[in-house]
């Protein structure tokens, strides 16, 4: 089921969401790439870091959301090219990036393990593939949404909601190593310190909650959110004016021979 993005809401926790991208970028050993591609560039605030890292490279950001690409045009500066495009169609573009980056995108494609060989195959010899995906789908921030959406009256509308999935670092490592790549794969759990009213709800409302809420008819959306908020508060209690939200992420940085 299709859904739309809200760049402003997504950027509400931009500093927290940026940390994994910085950690991913730090492990890419490319020195002087000709073409760097950000596959799923979103609002472009992180894509803007790529020409700073590699000032001599052509930098291209691609995203399937027209809203996100439009927002990115005001964030990346004149030196970055942007396009609307689907991850699944990337191999058909015929480009050969020296660095292919994908940040918090592939988990939206439940079959992305099947897609990875094709994506990796577009990278130039000696080039780099780097991506990170959330690994927190067993956390209350996700399970509570799924459980509530499965109850009446919501279940009648949420059967075709987009699902998200990711895998352990070892799974990605084996897949790419079997293709002959040198692979570094790891996981990190960030303890995000959040403030404000219902901050975990605010966090997921910009990302994983959107497909479920948009699947509901307008008259049920406020009711669903009103039921979800206290469940999240109980799962992530405030203490001393802050709420701590653990968030596991899985990273892969691989080099093609």
Distance CA 97, CA 38 (A): 10
Rounded mean pLDDT, 161-176 = 94
Confidence of residue 11 (pLDDT cuts 50, 70, 90): low
The pLDDT value given to residue 160: 86
The pLDDT value given to residue 185: 98
Percent of the chain with pLDDT over 90: 83
Distance CA 182, CA 225 (A): 45
What are the strands, taking DSSP E only, across the chain? 35-39, 58-63, 80-84, 99-103, 128-134, 182-194, 238-239, 242-255
Confidence of residue 75 (pLDDT cuts 50, 70, 90): confident
Distance CA 109, CA 115 (A): 9
Q: Are 110 and 82 in contact (CB under 8 A)?
A: no
Inform me whether the pLDDT recorded for 6 exceeds 60: no
Q: Are 169 and 250 in contact (CB under 8 A)?
A: yes
Distance CA 77, CA 196 (A): 32
Q: Are 122 and 141 in contact (CB under 8 A)?
A: no
Highest mean pLDDT among 79-83, 213-217, 247-251: 247-251
The pLDDT value given to residue 1: 45
**Largest distance between two CA atoms of the chain:** 56
pLDDT tens, 83-98? 999 999 999 999 999 9
Inform me whether the pLDDT recorded for 236 exceeds 60: yes
Inform me whether the pLDDT recorded for 230 exceeds 50: yes
Rounded mean pLDDT, 53-76 = 93
Rounded mean pLDDT, 43-59 = 94
Q: Are strands 242-255 and 128-134 parallel, antiparallel or unpaired?
A: antiparallel
Inform me whether the pLDDT recorded for 69 exceeds 90: yes
The pLDDT value given to residue 2: 53
Residue the block writes with tokens 């593939």: 129
pLDDT tens, 185-204? 999 999 999 999 999 999 99
Mean pLDDT of the chain: 93
pLDDT tens, 95-148? 999 999 999 999 999 999 999 999 999 999 999 999 999 999 999 999 999 999
- Return the structure tokens found at 185: 């794969």
Torsion over CA of 12, 15, 17 and 19, rounded to 10 degrees? Answer: 180
Sign for the pseudo-dihedral over CA of 29, 91, 207, 44: positive
pLDDT tens, 176-189? 999 999 999 999 99
Q: Which domains does the chain carry?
A: 7-136+162-194+244-255 (3.40.50.150)
Q: Are strands 35-39 and 128-134 parallel, antiparallel or unpaired?
A: unpaired
Cβ-count burial 42-55 (b if 16+ within 10 Å, e if not): bbbbbbbbbbeebe
- Return the structure tokens found at 56: 């001599």
Inform me whether the pLDDT recorded for 10 exceeds 60: no
Inform me whether the pLDDT recorded for 54 exceeds 70: yes
């Amino acid at each position: 089921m299709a859904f739309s993005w809200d760049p402003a809401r997504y950027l509400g926790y931009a500093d927290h969401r940026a940390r994994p991208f910085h950690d991913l970028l730090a492990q890419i050993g490319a020195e002087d790439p000709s073409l760097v591609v950000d596959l799923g560039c979103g609002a472009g605030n992180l894509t803007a870091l790529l020409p700073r890292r590699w000032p001599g490279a052509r930098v291209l950001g691609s995203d399937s959301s027209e809203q996100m690409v439009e927002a990115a045009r005001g964030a990346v500066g004149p030196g970055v090219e942007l396009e609307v495009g689907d991850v699944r169609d990337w191999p058909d573009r015929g480009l050969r990036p020296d660095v292919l980056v994908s940040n918090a995108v592939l988990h939206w494609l439940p079959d992305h393990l099947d897609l990875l060989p094709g994506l990796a195959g577009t990278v130039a010899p000696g080039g780099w593939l780097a991506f990170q995906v959330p690994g927190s789908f067993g956390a209350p921030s996700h399970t509570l949404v799924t459980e509530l959406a499965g109850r009446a009256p919501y279940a009648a509308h949420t059967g075709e909601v987009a699902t998200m999935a990711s895998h352990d670092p070892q799974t990605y490592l084996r897949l790419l190593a079997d293709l002959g790549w040198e692979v570094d794969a790891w996981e990190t759990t960030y303890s995000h310190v959040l403030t404000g009213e219902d901050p975990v709800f605010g966090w997921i409302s910009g990302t994983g909650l959107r497909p479920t809420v948009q699947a509901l008819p307008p008259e049920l959306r406020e009711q669903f959110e009103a039921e979800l908020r206290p469940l999240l508060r109980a799962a992530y209690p405030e203490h001393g004016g802050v709420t701590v939200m653990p968030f596991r992420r899985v990273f892969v940085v691989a080099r093609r021979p």
